Structure 1
């Protein structure tokens, strides 16, 4: 389904986050003064995680960092509910409403149905949802008038990541890369689409033959763990890709990257991964030696901006969807960190040129999962 939307301007990449603030269940948190010592706000922002939890080094943690930074700037203490499984979504949203939340951000596609139900029942509460349109009947419209979608065209950044992975793998002489996903959902598959298309672009430009395993963009079929847990299934799926000879892999799905790293350290020491959502080499320095580069989404900045805007919105809450792109820095490719000095000659210039062409519309990264 193709959507026509007005792109909202939410700003660029995130600054460093404020200290982590956790609020439990019960009465609403006390108000606090802002950074300038001014009058406290009575605005209460709230956040609910997907099952990956706050320490996933991925989309949940990034959203939390954005919420915490916004709350710090506004001089309030947010209520943040951590979900451990899908059964938590509805009850956690009910608790947030009961505590008087003015603005609730749901983190992830999997919360769509529960968020729509909660928003429909509470029309005076403002909502935002990350990585989903909240369009459960697929009619092209968000299913409640008080939900703002925060979505990301990650295929653009993944295209650059695929090109880089192919260049690295050809340099090693292996010439094979791969991917696998967690949940079989658009916000996961969009990474996999862009990644494969970037590998194909490298092969076209360099007259190369880097093989690709784990996903097929045309058929939309590939390898998935069925969830976002770092468990034996995720480890076995990573091993399945690695055993086919790939020496660079892209695990897409929050904590499942830790299972891929475990498989590499155990049996495939010459292989590398690409991080997703956040710059993994920065978030987890102990694994920087295995992280070639990361495909990033500025979820923290989108959450920050949406929260600050909601605090001033009142009845004028803007539900225009935000779409993160290379152009507005909502998605991007991180630095190569430990691998910068060992990259193929000219690779960073080639990636910069590809990014310019995508932004200019000279290259269109066509993923059926793009927003």
Structure 2
């Protein structure tokens, strides 16, 4: 995926020298109704190639992976001079019909935003071998017309866990997830290892609540939509003295932000997937210490553009990591001046160590 690496390298902007998102992460576009396949894009299309995308139930306004996938498809359509189609799923019951709907509308490639869509994509791809698919965050489908797009986010999460432990004033950090699935627990594994590495290097004992990497047990909302439960979980962790909370649950970071503001405590959050400092419109951005990035927008754009230009669909799996810029950390934004002295230099060295293999980072959900 040399084109992807090249594009990321040209757009890298970060205090740590790690990659920030290239595609703009502003206000999400107005979502299409569940089950719809409304045409979108430029009216003056110059290409007949039609990229499409289907969301999971989190929707395209999740400020996270669904939004990032849509941004990538939109950017690809713009570069290609083509139309694009988007369809939003209101519930899991919409997945199969939404994917089949896009196939029926002659989409050349369908990008699936997330692990939960895998069964629907496998079924549709099996029935429709002439349609290509990009399956984000899953490797279970082995078909010639499906390209798996996955990310070793535990590498970037290691940096995020280290930063959280270094920043914490109380010595307690918390993480929790949306659903106990590999794309979520891989983050939590990295966070746990980062906190552990900080303790080893600094002879500290920062506690991590919400996840045990050894037992693979932790705290989960059970979905990616229940802001009230997200707030309750976060409130409980604040009550246990956590002052850095890392939700791995798409837009549910908003529940954590609401809990912090209600509590009146001096606490911060770390985002995942997108740089939520840039994408948030709910008033939580002043609480964002840093975000652990999964550069879905860049990967989705690259896969679509390569597929449009190649005569034969390349279903070779793409794995985003620190080395190729598929994952990284955002800037610390408003907290840059509040960081412990030397932290950004330490993170640069840790990143280099992860890339060259001198620092071991592992996860049961990581990809080879």
TM-score by length of 1: 0.90
Return closer, same or farther for 1:280/1:21 CA change in 2, 3 Å cut-off.
closer
Does the alignment pair 1:177 with 2:194? no
Aligned to 1:73: 79
> 1:306 & 1:92 partners in 2: Cα distance?
21
Aligned to 2:110: 104
Aligned to 2:13: none
Aligned to 2:292: 295
Aligned-pair RMSD on alpha carbons?
1.9
Aligned to 1:92: 98
Deviation at 1:363, TM superposition (A): 1.1
Which runs of 5 or more residues in structure 1 are unaligned?
Answer: 1-6, 35-39, 136-141
CA contact (8 A) 2:253 2:271 kept: yes
Aligned to 1:37: none
Deviation at 1:230, TM superposition (A): 3.6
Aligned to 1:148: 147
CA contact (8 A) 1:159 1:365 kept: yes
> 2:31 & 2:298 partners in 1: Cα distance?
19
- SS of equivalent to 1:80: strand
> 1:104 & 1:364 partners in 2: Cα distance?
36
Aligned to 1:337: 333
Aligned to 1:43: 49
Deviation at 1:312, TM superposition (A): 1.6
- SS of equivalent to 1:63: helix
CA contact (8 A) 1:21 1:78 kept: no
> 1:22 & 1:342 partners in 2: Cα distance?
37
Return closer, same or farther for 1:355/1:64 CA change in 2, 3 Å cut-off.
same
Matched pairs, number: 349
> 2:90 & 2:66 partners in 1: Cα distance?
12
Aligned to 2:277: 281
Does the alignment pair 1:312 with 2:318? no
1:349 to 345, 350, 355: 345
Deviation at 1:10, TM superposition (A): 2.6
Return closer, same or farther for 1:122/1:270 CA change in 2, 3 Å cut-off.
same
1:205 to 184, 201, 220: 201
CA deviations on 1:181-212 (whole Å, 9 max, x unpaired) are: 00110000011000010000000000011111
- SS of equivalent to 1:183: coil
Aligned to 2:138: 132
Does the alignment pair 1:16 with 2:10? no
1:323 to 319, 326, 339: 319
- SS of equivalent to 2:250: coil
Deviation at 1:370, TM superposition (A): 1.1
Which runs of 5 or more residues in structure 2 are unaligned?
Answer: 9-18
Aligned to 1:370: 366
Return closer, same or farther for 1:90/1:8 CA change in 2, 3 Å cut-off.
farther
Aligned to 2:245: 249
Return closer, same or farther for 1:102/1:22 CA change in 2, 3 Å cut-off.
farther
Q: Which moved more, 1:235-244 or 1:85-94?
A: 235-244
CA contact (8 A) 2:290 2:330 kept: yes
Aligned to 1:161: 160
Aligned to 1:217: 213
